[in-house]
Structure formats: C-alpha cells, structure tokens
Structure 1
Amino acid sequence: MLFALICKDKPGGLQVRLDTRPEHVAFLEGLNGDKKLAFAGPFLDADGKPNGSLVVVEAPDLPSAQALSAADPYAKAGLFQSVEIRQWNWTFNKPAAS
C-alpha cells in the first residue's frame, strides 16, 4: 500500500530543516524491505523556501507508515507542526515497474 505523509513545518523551522537535512536524506535513501520510498520533496513558501514535506512510501499498513514517519530525523528533531498520513492510490503517470 502507498501512504502519503503530508508534513507542515513549525513556524520558524527552516534552520532545523537545514541542520537536519543530511540525516533526513540518508534516512529516506536507506528505506528498503517492507517500507520503500516512492517519492518525496519539500513544499515551498511564497519565497521558494521549504516549509513542509510530501513523502510517499510503500508500507504494509497504516501502523507501519506511522512508525516510519515517527522515525524520520525531521520528526525526531521536532520540525513538524503537523503530519497527516493518508493511504494513497497512484493512478496517473505511475512509472513502469522495474
């Protein structure tokens, strides 16, 4: 199953995001097994600065997606004001299976 993690940064969280980014990127790149990254990237504010994240992962169930979200270095650093996790169906422009 695919899950979309829709994360909104706390106000003034840009420095936390910048400081924690290397660990966050390594975490996402290291996902494998029953939890895999489909795609991810930041939401941007009007000035083009990151202020949230969209991370889509493959996980066996909602509790696994929740555990993955909680283990993200951004979450551990307290960056997020809110995180919404929703089951998602990739319908259009889905890449061919490799």
Structure 2
Amino acid sequence: MARFFAVFATDQPGMREVRDRVRATHRTYLRSAAQHGVYVRLGGPTLDPQGDAMNGTLLVVEADDIDAVMQFVGNDPYVKEGLFSRVEVRPWDWSLGNPERRA
C-alpha cells in the first residue's frame, strides 16, 4: 500500500553554481519519478530567511516503501553532484490540505 514521505534536503554552503547548473536535469528526473515507482505530489526549493536564495529542497512523494524513496533520492542529479549536506526522508501523514482527503 502506498504512503507519503517527506524529503528534506539542505544545500551545502557555496553550491549555488551547482544548483543552477544541474536544476534542469534535476527537474527532468523528478518528472520521471513514476518510472521508479515514486510519485512526486509536491515540491520545490526552500529559501533563506529573506526569501531571496534557494538553500535546500522539500518534496512530498508517494511510494510503496521508504526503500523506493531512498533509491529514487539517491539517484537525483542534485545528490549525485554533491549539492546537499544532508538529506532526510521521513514517512509523512498528509492530514491537512491533501486533495484526496476531506478535513
């Protein structure tokens, strides 16, 4: 049975050039998620406190298990290029704002 997972990734300092250079490839990879048994439900970059600069990534994905998510994340071009200092995947209960569930 599929469940949701939240993916939190934090950029390493000084990696803006890497993020900019790899962004199109990263986005193409995310659009291919279904081929890997993972479905991206929402996502985007996190921003610094001023809202000016990207400093990480947040994704909510749906998959059968955390292993599928870990494998998918591990093959993300951002991860392969060493953009992130930390990546955390957690099971997530999408209780508010889930378009498939009424509050």
Residue in 1 that maps onto 2:4? 2
How far apart are the structure 2 equivalents of 1:59 and 1:68? 10
Q: Gapped runs of 5+ residues in structure 1? A: none
Secondary structure of the 1:40 match is strand
Calculate the TM-score normalised by the size of structure 1: 0.92
Calculate the TM-score normalised by the size of structure 2: 0.88
How far apart are the structure 2 equivalents of 1:55 and 1:24? 12
Number of paired residues?
A: 97
Q: Gapped runs of 5+ residues in structure 2? A: none
Displaced runs of 4+ in structure 1, greater than 6 A? none
Residue in 1 that maps onto 2:45? 42
Letter in 2 for 1:24: H
Shift of 1:30: 1.4
Letter in 2 for 1:18: D
How far apart are the structure 2 equivalents of 1:81 and 1:68? 17
Letter in 2 for 1:76: K
Q: Percent of aligned pairs with the same residue?
A: 36
How far apart are the structure 2 equivalents of 1:37 and 1:82? 20
How far apart are the structure 2 equivalents of 1:95 and 1:14? 33
